[in-house]
Amino acid sequence: MILSENAKNENKMGVMPVNSLLLNMAIPIMVSMLVQALYNVVDSYFVAQLSQDALNAVSLAFPVQNLMIAVSVGTGVGINALLSRSLGQRDQELVNRSAVNGVFLAAVSCLVFVALGLAGSRLFYAVQTDIPGIVDYGEDYLVIVCGLSMGLFGAVTMERLLQATGRTFYTMISQAVGALANIILDPILIFGLGPFPRMEVAGAALATVVGQFLSCAIGVFFNATRNPDVQVRIRGFRPHWPTIRAIYSVGLPSIVMQSIGSVMVFGMNQILIAFTDTATAVFGVYFKLQSFFFMPVFGLNNGMVPIVAYNYGARKPDRIVKTIRLSVVYATVLLAIGFAVFQLFPAQLLSLFEAEENAAGNLIAIGVPALRIISFSWLLAGFGIVCGSVFQALDHGVLSLTTSLVRQLVVLLPVAFLLAWLTQNLDMVWLSFPIAELFSCTLCAIFLRRVYRRDILGLVPAQEEA
């Protein structure tokens, strides 16, 4: 078969076989996210060696860290979707404008979190607990993580520019180097090995931001030297409000959707701490452990979004459908493996985080049923996660927001509160997770059918030139 001149010149996202393309795009991101999941666990493992107060401080910081990630990744999703569609439409001016305005938005977002972190870290902990050790450790941690968050925002933005053009191998390198630096620095800075002072929880925070800065620097280098599809020109820049609106038309629902996770975690911590502060530690450990299986799924999604967006811009409906189907299959398989691990080895996983002071084994006693019950929701979660990303790629971010809102705030938190109040049994509270996932997946199926009929089924393929 002789390819047309257009096909020869087209980005691989429009011509490469879909399964090979999806794996080619997703596997490097999945590998790098697995490394990130590893350093999340390593963080908590070393912090747990200090005390349960230290572990609780890091666990309670999750809503703030998740909010920063929500803003950076949500903005990146908007950049990614707009930039990929523009590539599919071969609109180079809009490609470049999307990139430079995305960098501007990341810088503004960073400044907001720097101010909030420096001013409000202690207050954030004080409203959740009156345990001095947790408040002191928490303030040390959040001031550093928020005050030096420019590495996080820069790294995410650079990675999204690479992903949008199909250069996911370079994102794997930038993320992996940052994560490995974090892992190496964790014990050195936490315990004060060699010439370094003992910083305890503050050391874990500093190791995290150093890794983020390294990822950002490498991402800048790769975009400047290995990404010819995008040119980021800072000189003479002025914000272009139509482009910013287009970025946030997809990105803002994603930001709100992921921010809902912060509200959910904050609310769940208030429900759980009424039973025992060990329950909040268990919840924090769960989020560290589940990242081993969810991070690869998110990596799969990051590889899928530009493929769907590009082929939507290029008017190739068959490639969109194949990409969605394969993504659902792969995501479901990954989370089914995670479900099996959580069912078979919960005590062994939790034992990594058992503080010496907690010799009675309360964390394991509470955590084993928690991990087993919550993981039932994973059997449905893969479908919901893929659907949410498809909605974003096709400029239906509000649908993603709706499903996330229903799952985490409309169903999960109220059900958890009612189960806690009616049963006074901590184990019953964990049932709220599979219940909420069932509601969410039902809604996703309804929305996906509507999007398929309205946006994909009626998409007339563009005519290729001879």
The DSSP annotation for 34-92 comes to HHHHHHHHHHHHHHHTT-HHHHHHHHHTHHHHHHHHHHHHHHHHHHHHHHHHHHHHT-H
Residue at token pair 């404008």: 97
Residue at token pair 């919901």: 384
The amino acid at 288: K
The three-state DSSP-derived secondary structure of 385-421 is: HHHHHHHHHCCCHHHHHHHHHHHHHHHHHHHHHHHHH
**Amino acid 122: pLDDT:** 93
Cα R_g (the chain), whole angstroms: 22
Residue at token pair 């560290």: 288
Helices (H), 227-350: 241-273, 277-313, 317-344, 346-350
d(CA 74, CA 360): 42
Task: Please list the helix, strand and coil fractions of the chain in percent, rounded to the nearest 5, in that order.
Answer: 85, 0, 15
d(CA 330, CA 300): 8
**Amino acid 363: pLDDT:** 85
**Amino acid 286: pLDDT:** 93
345 closest CA partner among 270, 289, 387:
289
Cβ neighbour number for residue 462 with a 10 Å cutoff: 13
d(CA 106, CA 84): 19
Residue at token pair 């790629």: 393
Helix axes 378-393, 277-313, angle to 10 degrees: 40
Interval 373-393: pLDDT, tens: 999 999 999 999 999 889 878
Degrees (nearest 5) of the Cα angle 101, 103, 105?
Answer: 70
Contact 55, 47 (CB under 8 A): yes
**Amino acid 212: pLDDT:** 94
d(CA 146, CA 352): 27
Question: Within the chain, which residues score under 50 in pLDDT?
Answer: 1-5, 7-8, 357-360, 463-466
**Amino acid 169: pLDDT:** 86
Cα–Cα distances in Å, from 412 out to 188, 199, 385, 418?
Answer: 39, 37, 16, 10
**Amino acid 156: pLDDT:** 92
Using DSSP's 3-state secondary structure scheme, residue 127 falls into: coil
Using DSSP's 3-state secondary structure scheme, residue 357 falls into: coil
Contact 367, 319 (CB under 8 A): no
Answer left, alpha or beta for residue 361, where phi above 0 means left and psi between -120 and 50 means alpha.
left
Contact 280, 292 (CB under 8 A): no
d(CA 127, CA 63): 14
- Which residues lie closer than 8 Å to 320 by C-beta, 6 or more apart? 308, 311, 312, 456, 459
Alpha-carbon 123 to chain mean position:
26
Tell the burial category of 241 from Cβ atoms under 10 Å away from its Cβ (0-12, 13-18, 19+): exposed
